[in-house]
Structure 1
Amino acid sequence: MAKEFKRASDRKLVAALDIGASKAACVIAQLTEALDGDYEVDVVGVGQHGASPKDKAPDFDAAIRSAVEAAERMAGDRIRHVHVAAAGRSLSTRRIGVDLDIEGGVITREDVVDCLAQGARAAAPEGSEPLHAFKIRYAIDGEPAPDDPVGLAGAALNAEILGVSVKDSYVANVESMLGRAGLELDEIVAAPFAAAEAVLIDDEKELGVLMLDIGARTTSYALFDRGVLIGCGGIGVGGDHITRDVAQIFGAPITYAERMKTLHGSVLTGPGDEHRLVDFPQLGDGAEIVRH
């Protein structure tokens, strides 16, 4: 999924950057070729920096520079190219059908690649560029086909595809910010898909699972069924909104509401939750502590 580049030290490095609403995070990994021809991935540098100091406008340029510099110091090497994770409302998805005529009568790997590429382009709305095309199901001449149809005979390859695209304006803004930091963009990856690849196992994807990645201002999601990605995107609600709701409901300072959310917040209820009490300091100088 990620391209690689070689430094003068002959280290094969790949760098990823996540630019969120409240912070930027960078990770640098070293790729070591294994005996089977694949690569072993070792994280050699990480860094993050807040973009939204209290009572100030977000400074994404400074956050990117600081996060990258911290990761470079840990890695002991410099980077010039990064892969950026796109999330939230910058992404759009569309399910689309593609019919590809097979000239030679037997489906080749190039036919499959062409089919996915056509789907990615067709699914991208105006003002967006395609990122990914995920196969949902294949058919040959209208009949169900296996996940890998290469080598099978047929006159037409039919595919249902999930196309993921990103807004042109987002790409332009990212390239501009990276340029000011002395970096170049290698590629953009849909953040919910990347997060799902990192945290989900094959059985979860096969049985059906919804992965949520809750950021400060947005929440991204990836939906899998029968091992296939069938939906991903984002909504404009994140952890900051939850914190403010807690603060407003209990009349508590925002910093304390954030702490309570982190320590006691849970999606699932447990035995005895209704009997557990939590102390909340109230707003105002010398305000009392109220138990809820």
Structure 2
Amino acid sequence: MTREKVIVGLDVGTCNVRMAAAKIKEGDSNPQIIGVSKISSQGVRRGVVVDVVETSKNISRAKEILEKNAGIKIDHVFVNVGGSHINCRLSRGVVAVSRADGEISEEDKNRAVNASSAISVSPNFEILHTLPRRFTVDSQDSLKDPVGMHGVRLEVDSLLVEGSTPFIKNLIKCLRETDLSAEGILVSPLASSRSILNKRQKELGVLVLDIGGGTTGMAVFEEGDILHCKVLPVGSMHITNDIAIGLRTSVDTAEKVKLEYGSLRPSQAGRRDMIDLSKLEESENEQVSRLEVIEIIEARVNELFDLVNKELKKIDRLGLLPAGVVLVGEGVKLPGLVEFAKNKLKLPASMGCPQEFEGVIDEINDPGFAAVCGLINSGLADEAVSDSSLMRDFSLFKFFPKKMRDWMKNFIP
């Protein structure tokens, strides 16, 4: 009998809650999307939960819609975590090879990775992911996988991704309120990268820029390794707020102006090109310059890309990523954004959509579904590669106290 796995991804964003369910049969290469849901989000600000009750209601509604569309019962999900509290840092782990003949085992590799995460973190912060970048055996460095090699000393350079414990626990509480358990947690920019990047892009060097409602996540890859991960406190809702202030109108009207008339191409608008706000909202009776709207949008997007360039400069990759930048998220649909990013970041730029999925792909063929589909891919990797260091951290096991974790490991085969 053919085995079938069903995996559900949940993206709790500032503006929207998205869920998608996929199934894959043993032997299949691509997951099949069997249902999708999307509702407006409330109770989340700048990527973090600020109202547990409201966020729980939103997740519950999205869950009900997905269960109806997919015809399944959902009780566990893979969920992303965002917010500008997400940070990363480099760390090195060093261990002695345990075997007498000097052959490096999988256990030695795991010990080295664990040693790289044995550092002190800021109060109320947790290490979410320990991502090994390269290994060194004695004097031989830049190794991808040292298992089977011989040596005395094993070292690993890892990227540690940290997040605020209270924010993460608030998200977990929202899931529990809706009778859901978190099968895994992944930071948003890493989740998006799992659905849109191919191996060649990661080898050459690429930046993933996930522009959401309240934040923008970025992840940099080179030579197949993760180099940097950061969540910036600027998103598409900041553009909406700027328009509302600049035009002295409501936020709802400003959002309509952004969606219908927003652009980053000043040549599209002349000095006499006006927007009649009464066509968007009956209570409005003014006319505003479309060029003024474009200038407001351009100022905020300029600020965002300045922050991105600042992060790239920290890791000496400013303008030095051959595969360029891939833009995803709800905020990348502004006309002219790809060209603007190309000029501002001095990199090739393109818009990304989830790849290698089957089923109702029309519903996920959208940059806003990159994180959800990436969570599904991460869940599939968890089934296939149980010893992956990323997927080991991709669990709630780490939320138990260390002594309890050590005791529980005695019962794991």
The TM-score with structure 2 as length reference comes to: 0.60
Change (3 A) 1:194 1:108: same
Counterpart of 2:41, as a letter, is A
Change (3 A) 1:146 1:75: same
Query: Quick one: which of 78, 90, 95 aligns to 2:73?
Result: 78
Query: Quick one: which of 94, 97, 100 aligns to 1:99?
Result: 94
2:14 equivalent to 1:17: no
Aligned position for 1:197: 194
**Greater share of helix residues, 1 or 2?**
2
Describe the SS at the equivalent of 1:73: helix
Change (3 A) 1:288 1:262: closer
Describe the SS at the equivalent of 2:31: strand
| Contact preservation (8 Å) 1:282, 1:290 | no
Cα deviation for residue 282 of structure 1 reads 5.8
CA distance in 1, matches of 2:80, 2:66: 17
Query: Quick one: which of 145, 151, 155 aligns to 2:152?
Result: 155
Query: Quick one: which of 11, 14, 20 aligns to 1:27?
Result: 20
CA distance in 1, matches of 2:169, 2:83: 16
2:129 equivalent to 1:165: no
Cα deviation for residue 91 of structure 1 reads 2.1
| Contact preservation (8 Å) 1:65, 1:181 | yes
CA distance in 2, matches of 1:230, 1:266: 32
Q: Provide the aligned length of Structure 1 versus Structure 2.
A: 273
Aligned position for 1:66: 61
Alignment of 1:199-278 (within 5 A): 199-251=196-248, 254-262=251-259, 273-274=266-267, 276-277=269-270
Counterpart of 2:11, as a letter, is D
| Contact preservation (8 Å) 2:81, 2:168 | no
CA distance in 2, matches of 1:184, 1:202: 31
| Contact preservation (8 Å) 2:276, 2:288 | yes
CA distance in 2, matches of 1:172, 1:143: 41
Cα deviation for residue 250 of structure 1 reads 4.8
| Contact preservation (8 Å) 2:105, 2:148 | yes
Per-residue deviation, residues 68-106 of structure 1 (Å, max 9, x unmatched): 111111110101111110112242211111111112111
Change (3 A) 1:141 1:264: farther
Larger relative contact order (CA 8 Å, sep ≥ 6): 2
Cα deviation for residue 44 of structure 1 reads 1.1
Describe the SS at the equivalent of 1:106: coil
| Contact preservation (8 Å) 2:79, 2:186 | yes
Describe the SS at the equivalent of 2:39: strand
Counterpart of 2:154, as a letter, is L
Counterpart of 1:52, as a letter, is Q
Structure 1 unmatched runs, 5+: 1-9
Change (3 A) 1:83 1:217: same
Identity of aligned residues (%): 27
Alignment of 1:40-189 (within 5 A): 40-52=30-42, 59-104=54-99, 105-122=102-119, 124-189=121-186
Per-residue deviation, residues 141-177 of structure 1 (Å, max 9, x unmatched): 1431421111111111111110113322123212211
Cα deviation for residue 45 of structure 1 reads 1.5
**Greater share of strand residues, 1 or 2?**
1
Cα deviation for residue 281 of structure 1 reads 3.6
Cα deviation for residue 241 of structure 1 reads 0.3
| Contact preservation (8 Å) 2:269, 2:290 | no
CA distance in 1, matches of 2:222, 2:230: 16
Describe the SS at the equivalent of 1:286: coil
Cα deviation for residue 51 of structure 1 reads 2.4
Change (3 A) 1:285 1:246: closer
Change (3 A) 1:176 1:154: same
The TM-score with structure 1 as length reference comes to: 0.83
Structure 2 unmatched runs, 5+: 44-49, 292-413
| Contact preservation (8 Å) 1:31, 1:41 | yes
Change (3 A) 1:124 1:47: farther
Instruction: Kindly report structure 1 stretches of 4+ aligned residues shifted beyond 6 Å.
Output: none
CA distance in 2, matches of 1:209, 1:133: 20
